């Protein structure tokens, strides 16, 4: 299968969804072309009546049409008025159906683009986090905005080709009926023009793909700048970032200039060839057909009229070929996002998660983000229901990865994660994740109100529940102090709040989830002592009656955990209670001695 056909196949589902609108577009296009043909056909008796009033009346051979449409047997003036009326009616019908074709074409194009955009979004939300660890968010944003718009423009080209192509068939049909020899000569030169433009259009398509790549690079660079503006400003790297963005915009400009330079050649070449063909037809037809009496003047005028109407269509179709080549990269870009065979997916389970009663078991679990580079190796671990389990270890030991396997952000590359004896992969993702809450060091708040951020994950929560959750999380005080309380917009990533306030808001959000399992991933490591005390107090309320997995570097926050697991290089090296592991003087004892700077026996 060629790349073009493969890309088109990925878009078929969106076209199929709106097949009625697309069929209506095609139908109205054909009706518009048919009435154009009626008007063109009526030109023959009209011109014949004007140019040779004494000549025999033009007849189609259909008695009803000759009598009621052409007025055969009537006076010249009556025939002229009758034919003019039908030409006018055909023109209005052609205009009406042309409008309907354009409207339904626009509507179907807009809905297909919307459907494609949502298919991409649906695919993005269904993929494993592995994809986002490798993809650049700026390039994804560019695909969903700039490239999706360009794809819509390419679909509009399809509508134009449909309407112009229908009319072209009508004109060519009449021209063949009038003089097949002249028509074949015209088509021969048009075919030569098309072949001559093919190589140029191939180069335009290559240049158009460069525009897509340059747009993606610029959007990604801009996204990095906006996301890291504090870091850029703090390090005084504004000039450096401006230079990088300048280089990115220069690449866009160069790609556009190169593409446009080639694209602008299409129209003048087409015009020159078509004008040559028109003059050649007039000279040849007059000399070899009209003067010898082989072709009636009215028929020649109709032929020339059809050719004159045909010429702009040939120009436009050639222009559309060039424009399609420019926009072809957008189709490839969106199709690449819609492909499923080259992306990591988490298969959904079939059974709803009904609750947690006994234990979570990691059974010989191994995992690697990159094949051949394991992060976890043969981990066996049991987390009892209702207990707090602390995961301790140096950076890169695999603590957060272990928690990510429980939420099914990833699936193990070896072994199984069992919940009450059932493999996590048998549960539907939505039902499983609905009962797990995560409070991490990097709390993400949306550019929305406090209310929307609190209720995220539980949008049906009443205001009373929001206030109670905020109170339990020690967040109600600062929320009430905000200008609009719960309706205060927090800004991008919650910029209006301090780190401790964002963390307490995250805890309130987790409380509203009413989870079975709570994962605390370095939830207090980036806070000052006052904020940490408030957050820790909130966490203690949240942890009551829950199964808690606490990932921590600060041992003071997990000394009272029911179970402590120490990981090193992706393996469990120790597990037990805090006191038991200190007594063993193993790895946890080393961490304890480093952090508390006191003799271990005295700490115990």
The string of pLDDT tens digits covering residues 402-419 is 888 988 888 898 999 999
- Residue 362's pLDDT is 92
Q: How confident is the model over 246-279, as pLDDT tens digits?
A: 888 888 788 777 777 776 666 676 667 767 776 7
Number of domains in the chain: 2
Q: Which of 338, 366, 392 is the last residue of a domain?
A: 338
Per the document, the length of the chain is 604
Return the closest-CA partner of residue 389 out of 565, 524, 559: 565
Residue-range definition of the domain harbouring residue 246: 3-338
List of residues 6+ apart from 316 with CB closer than 8 A = 160, 164
List of residues 6+ apart from 195 with CB closer than 8 A = none
Do 331 and 373 belong together in one domain?
no
The CATH number covering residue 593 comes to 3.40.50.300
- C-alpha angle with apex 174: 168 to 176, nearest 5 degrees? 100
78 inside domain: yes
Do 300 and 430 belong together in one domain?
no
Residues (pLDDT < 50) of the chain are 1-5, 600-604
- Residue 600's pLDDT is 45
- Residue 72's pLDDT is 59
Beta bridge pairs of residue 449 = 489
Which uninterrupted H or E stretch holds 300? helix 297-338
Residue for token pair 């054909």 = 30
272's tokens: 């020159």
218 inside domain: yes
φ, ψ of residue 236 in degrees (nearest 5): 65, 40
- Residue 602's pLDDT is 40
Q: Which of 281, 310, 338 is the last residue of a domain?
A: 338
The CATH number covering residue 206 comes to 1.20.1560.10
3-class SS at 363?
Answer: strand
Calpha distance 85→203 (Å, rounded): 49
223's tokens: 């996204």
Sheet containing strand 388-393, strands side by side: 436-440, 517-521, 547-551, 388-393, 563-568, 571-576
| Cβ pair 49, 83 in contact under 8 A | yes
Average pLDDT over all residues of the chain: 77
Q: Is 40 left (phi over 0), alpha (psi -120 to 50) or beta?
A: alpha
Residue for token pair 């409380």 = 511
Calpha distance 193→202 (Å, rounded): 15
3-class SS at 157?
Answer: helix
Calpha distance 409→403 (Å, rounded): 9
153 inside domain: yes
Q: Is the dihedral of CA 434, 436, 442, 445 positive or negative?
A: positive
493 inside domain: no
């Amino acid at each position: 299968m060629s790349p073009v056909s493969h890309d088109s196949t990925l878009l078929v589902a969106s076209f199929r969804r709106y097949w009625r609108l697309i069929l209506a577009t095609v139908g109205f296009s054909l009706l518009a072309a048919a009435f154009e043909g009626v008007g063109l056909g009526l030109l023959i008796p009209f011109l014949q009546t004007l140019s040779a009033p004494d000549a025999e009346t033009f007849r189609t051979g259909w008695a009803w049409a000759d009598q009621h449409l052409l007025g055969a047997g009537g006076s010249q003036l009556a025939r002229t008025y009758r034919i003019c009326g039908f030409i006018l009616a055909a023109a209005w019908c052609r205009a009406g159906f042309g409008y309907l074709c354009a409207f339904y074409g626009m509507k179907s194009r807009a809905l297909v683009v919307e459907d494609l955009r949502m298919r991409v979004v649906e695919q993005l939300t269904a993929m494993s986090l592995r994809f986002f660890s490798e993809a650049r968010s700026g390039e994804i944003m560019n695909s969903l905005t700039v490239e999706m718009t360009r794809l819509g423009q390419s679909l509009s080209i399809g509508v134009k080709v449909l309407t112009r192509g229908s009319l072209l068939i009508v004109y060519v049909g009449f021209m063949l009926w009038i003089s097949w020899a002249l028509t074949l000569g015209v088509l021969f030169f048009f075919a030569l023009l098309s072949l001559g433009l093919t190589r140029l259009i191939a180069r335009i398509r290559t240049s158009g793909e460069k525009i897509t790549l340059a747009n993606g690079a610029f959007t990604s660079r801009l996204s990095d700048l906006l996301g890291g503006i504090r870091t850029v400003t703090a390090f005084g790297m504004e000039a450096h970032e401006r230079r990088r963005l300048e280089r990115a915009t220069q690449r866009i400009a160069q790609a556009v200039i190169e593409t446009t330079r080639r694209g602008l050649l299409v129209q003048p070449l087409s015009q020159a060839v078509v004008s040559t063909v028109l003059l050649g037809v007039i000279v040849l037809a007059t000399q070899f057909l009209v003067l010898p009496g082989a072709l009636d003047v009215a028929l020649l005028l109709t032929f020339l009229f059809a050719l004159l109407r045909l010429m702009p269509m040939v120009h436009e179709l050639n222009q559309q070929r060039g424009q399609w080549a420019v926009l072809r990269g957008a189709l490839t870009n969106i199709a690449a996002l819609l492909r499923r065979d080259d992306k990591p997916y988490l298969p959904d389970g079939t059974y709803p998660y009904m609750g947690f009663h006994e234990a979570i078991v990691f059974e010989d679990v191994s995992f690697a983000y990159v094949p051949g580079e394991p992060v976890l190796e043969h981990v066996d671990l049991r987390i009892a229901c209702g207990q707090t389990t602390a995961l301790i270890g140096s950076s890169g030991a695999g603590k957060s990865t272990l928690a990510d396997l429980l939420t099914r952000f990833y699936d193990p590359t070896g072994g199984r994660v069992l919940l009450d004896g059932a493999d996590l992969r048998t549960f539907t993702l939505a039902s499983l994740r609905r009962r797990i809450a995560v409070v991490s060091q990097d709390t993400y708040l949306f550019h929305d109100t406090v209310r929307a951020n609190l209720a995220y994950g539980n949008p049906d929560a009443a205001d009373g529940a929001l206030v109670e959750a905020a109170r339990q999380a020690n967040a109600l005080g600062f929320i009430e102090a905000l200008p609009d309380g719960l309706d205060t917009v927090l800004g991008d990533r919650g910029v209006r709040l301090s780190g401790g306030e964002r963390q307490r808001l995250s805890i309130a959000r987790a409380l509203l989830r009413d989870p079975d399992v709570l994962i605390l991933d370095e939830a207090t490591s980036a806070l000052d002592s006052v904020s940490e005390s408030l957050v820790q107090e909130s966490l203690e309320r949240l942890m009551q009656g829950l199964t808690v997995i606490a990932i921590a570097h600060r041992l003071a926050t997990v000394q009272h955990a029911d179970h402590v697991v120490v990981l090193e290089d992706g393996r469990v090296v120790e597990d037990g209670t805090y006191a038991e592991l200190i007594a063993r003087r193993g790895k946890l004892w080393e961490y304890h001695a480093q952090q508390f700077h006191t003799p271990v026996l005295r700490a115990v």
